[in-house]
Amino acid sequence: MLAFLENPRLRGGIHAEEHKQETCGQTIASDFPLPKKLYIPVQQHVGKPAEPVVKVGDKVLKGQLLAYSQGTISAPVHAPTSGKIIDVQDFPAPHPSALPVRTVIIETDGLEQWAPGNLPDDPFAMAPDQICTRVGEAGVVGLGGAVFPSAVKLSLGRKNQIHTLLINAGECEPYLTCDDRLMRERAGEIVSGIRLMLRGMEAPKAMVGIEDNKPEAYQVMLAACREFDNISVEQVPTRYPMGWDRQMLRYLTGQEIPADGRATDIGVVVHNVATAHAVYKAICLGQPLISRVVTVSGGAVGKPRNVEVPIGTLMSEVLAFCDLDKSKLARLIMGGPMMGDALPFAEVPVVKACNGILALSRDEIEEPEVQACIRCSSCVTACPVGLLPLEMASRIKANQLDSAVDLGLKDCISCGTCSYVCPSNIPLVHYFKFASGELVKRQQAEHKAEQTKRLMNDRNERMERIRLEAEAEAQRAAEARAARMAAQAAAQQQKVEESA
């Protein structure tokens, strides 16, 4: 409460148990054995799914294009290693529902043969639009979890006259340390990525925001940025959800993004720190996004650590590498414990969005009894957006979605802070996720109703036209018959007259 008063630039939030010390002290494991099979979903990003260009039986090289992006908001996927395509079929997606998604399955050959690529002589002399194109071709998407195609964001930034690139290195979710380790071990590469992004967006300066529970990463980044005047590194308080772009931006610049606007409206573009690293790899090394650093942690994991794994590796294999104790496993989560998705089983592939695999033990999770709301308003104090979670949830419970929307349901970021603080254990954020889904469903239903009306009208018009045409046809036929009859009658008359 006091911290809140001291710091008017921060609104709401919580300080949960960090659980970062289990993994933050060890270097990123790069000795992960190459799996026998890799499962690469064609949809690992926001937007349209990519369209496969390979056939079953094809040999592919590492980094070769597997599926190309369709439309402006989409991203391609590439082969994480060399091998043979053994199938292109439906496979469970890393999603709470584990519903199937189209997936390219590769049998690896262990040769790790790279596809030939062309590297630029001087990446920092490349034209901005060339940088954007290359980033897009490399399938780079936002690695903070939102997986929005980065090239689209870079080009948008160029169009909107951006003055600041904000690099989000908050990593405010408990347990996760993949960005922390990446900064400690590959700061130079990250800074190159940031410089390329600045060039791609034609933006003058960049700012890196790091939570103050990562002092080592801060020092390393500070040293790496020292020679570049246009990149500053800032510490931000450790307070979930600091990694929410609006919260970090409000803290660092004092500016507020309009409720229905985007960061670009105030001249800022926010990218994740791991995305900057992926941009470096895509341009300076010519490597598409085919692997990522994943934090494997939780009470059921024997050797919690960060591992660099190829995209498409089954989570069960990554967990086995880190000595998962299956008897202790109570819940499996992709991402962080606050906003991550609980998965029904581990036989799903690691995708670009996967920054953490948490195998939590029974004492780390609780499934307490839900009790009635006591209107303590803890959730109101904690909400970083400034909403009234208790009121919204009670409206949604009564299926009054419209009044929940009036209370600001659409501004909810599903950060889970309200559910975390609720003393009655009400699944507040679940209500909001449910309601948001219902709103989308409703929108789709309205769209369908409109389409139905259009289809009905078209059909009715067509039927009317056919009827009129048939009538006209009948009339013509009748006239023709009448004319024929008259002609016959006249001929007969003539015959009679002739015979007479």
Q: Using CA atoms in the order 34, 37, 38, 42, what is the torsion angle rounded to 10 degrees?
A: 170
Q: Cis omega (within 30 of 0) on the bond before 237?
A: no
Piece of 17-25, 193-201, 360-368, 453-461 that binds other proteins (CB under 8 A): 453-461
| Residue 406 interacting with other proteins (CB under 8 A) | no
| Nearest distance, CB of residue 97 and other proteins, angstroms | 5
Distance in angstroms (rounded) separating the CA atoms of residues 43 and 51: 9
Distance in angstroms (rounded) separating the CA atoms of residues 208 and 236: 10
51-52 β-sheet, strand order:
51-52, 65-68, 77-78
| Residue 410 interacting with other proteins (CB under 8 A) | no
Site string for other proteins, 32-61 (x = CB under 8 A): -----------x------------------
Alpha helix ranges (H) inside 242-348: 245-253, 273-284, 315-321
Which is nearer to other proteins, 465 or 495 (by Cβ)? 465
| Residue 1 interacting with other proteins (CB under 8 A) | no
Piece of 18-26, 111-119, 304-312, 396-404 that binds other proteins (CB under 8 A): 396-404
Which of 3, 445, 480, 483 binds other proteins (CB under 8 A)? It is: 445
| Residue 89 interacting with other proteins (CB under 8 A) | no
Piece of 265-273, 299-307, 312-320, 392-400 that binds other proteins (CB under 8 A): 392-400
Piece of 226-234, 288-296, 316-324, 423-431 that binds other proteins (CB under 8 A): 423-431
Residue 206 carries which side chain, given as an amino acid letter? A
Which is nearer to other proteins, 328 or 433 (by Cβ)? 433
| Residue 455 interacting with other proteins (CB under 8 A) | yes
Among candidates 242, 236, 176, 299, which has minimal Cα distance to 15? 242
DSSP assignment string, 340-385: -EEES-S-SB--TT--EEEEEEGGG---PPP-------HHHHH-TT
Piece of 107-115, 273-281, 353-361, 364-372 that binds other proteins (CB under 8 A): 364-372
Give the three-state DSSP class for 190: helix
Which of 259, 320, 398, 489 binds other proteins (CB under 8 A)? It is: 398
Distance in angstroms (rounded) separating the CA atoms of residues 304 and 159: 43
List residues near other proteins by CB under 8 A: 43, 93, 95, 97, 99-101, 370-372, 397-402, 424, 426-427, 430-431, 433-434, 437-438, 440-442, 444-446, 448-449, 451-453, 455-456, 458-459
